[in-house]
């Protein structure tokens, strides 16, 4: 079975996780709390990983345990708050040691500068970096944030079409 990792997958990316299951993936999902993880515990295709991404070593250890059990990870979808600098790089460095090609879909807020972040992640050579930016929705003269459904569906579209850069909603 193909193995995907969704970091920060128990909130706005829940719909994406459920879609991956339908598409035949085994999905390792990270988050800190059981309360948010509970929605996935009925699925045999889910490995819940309880970890704080500020404690990268500990999170990596748990991720690599999932790799030992379910096989190498070939797709990573990551929503990591910007205060956890370096976490994604460390995770990707470990994951790419076990797999020839890994697609990384990095979800970032609309104000993030693509090049800055790309450098920060410094994707290993066998990692294909994709970036999904969260914009907003303009309805008549009103702007509003994206809903969880819109975010999950946008990420699904980016993954389906192998988009290297993708904007959900609009940025201006």
Give the list of residues 6+ apart from residue 62 with CB closer than 8 angstroms, or none.
Answer: 30, 49, 50, 51
Tokens 């990792």 -> residue:
5
Q: In terms of CB distance, is 12 or 67 closer to ligand NAP? A: 12
Q: In terms of CB distance, is 23 or 52 closer to ligand NAP? A: 52
The footprint of ligand NAP on residues 98-157 (CB under 6 A) is 109-110, 134-136, 145-146, 148, 151
Q: Which of 44, 50, 39, 34 is nearest to 16 (CA)?
A: 39
Nearest residue to ligand NAP, scored by beta-carbon proximity: 11
Shortest spacing between CB 35 and ligand NAP, in angstroms: 7
The answer to whether residue 11 forms part of the interface with ligand NAP (CB under 6 A) is yes
Residues touching ligand NAP: how many (CB under 6 A)? Answer: 25
Q: In terms of CB distance, is 101 or 149 closer to ligand NAP? A: 149
Measured CA to CA, the distance from residue 127 to residue 93 in angstroms comes to 9
Give the list of residues 6+ apart from residue 82 with CB closer than 8 angstroms, or none.
Answer: 109, 112
Cβ neighbourhood burial of 39 (10 Å; 0-12, 13-18, 19+):
middle
Q: In terms of CB distance, is 76 or 151 closer to ligand NAP? A: 151
Measured CA to CA, the distance from residue 31 to residue 152 in angstroms comes to 16
The footprint of ligand NAP on residues 16-75 (CB under 6 A) is 30-33, 36, 52-54
Q: In terms of CB distance, is 7 or 123 closer to ligand NAP? A: 7
Tokens 């070939």 -> residue:
74
Shortest spacing between CB 153 and ligand NAP, in angstroms: 12
Q: For binding to ligand NAP (CB under 6 A), which residues are involved?
A: 8-13, 30-33, 36, 52-54, 79, 81, 109-110, 134-136, 145-146, 148, 151
């Amino acid at each position: 079975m193909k193995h995907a990792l969704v970091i920060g997958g128990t909130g706005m990316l829940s719909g994406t996780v459920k879609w991956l299951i339908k598409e035949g993936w085994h999905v390792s999902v990270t988050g800190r709390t059981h309360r948010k993880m509970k929605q996935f515990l009925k699925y045999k295709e889910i490995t819940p990983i309880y970890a704080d991404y500020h404690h990268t070593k500990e999170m990596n250890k748990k991720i690599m345990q999932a790799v030992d059990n379910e096989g190498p990870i070939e797709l990573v979808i990551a929503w990591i708050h910007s205060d956890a600098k370096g976490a994604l790089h460390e995770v990707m460095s470990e994951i790419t040691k076990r797999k020839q090609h890994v697609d990384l879909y990095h979800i970032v807020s609309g104000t993030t500068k693509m090049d800055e972040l790309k450098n920060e992640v410094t994707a290993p050579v066998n990692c294909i970096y994709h970036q999904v930016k969260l914009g907003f929705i303009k309805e008549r003269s009103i702007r509003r944030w994206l809903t969880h459904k819109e975010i999950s569906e946008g990420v699904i579209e980016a993954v389906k079409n192998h988009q290297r850069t993708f904007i959900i909603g609009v940025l201006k």
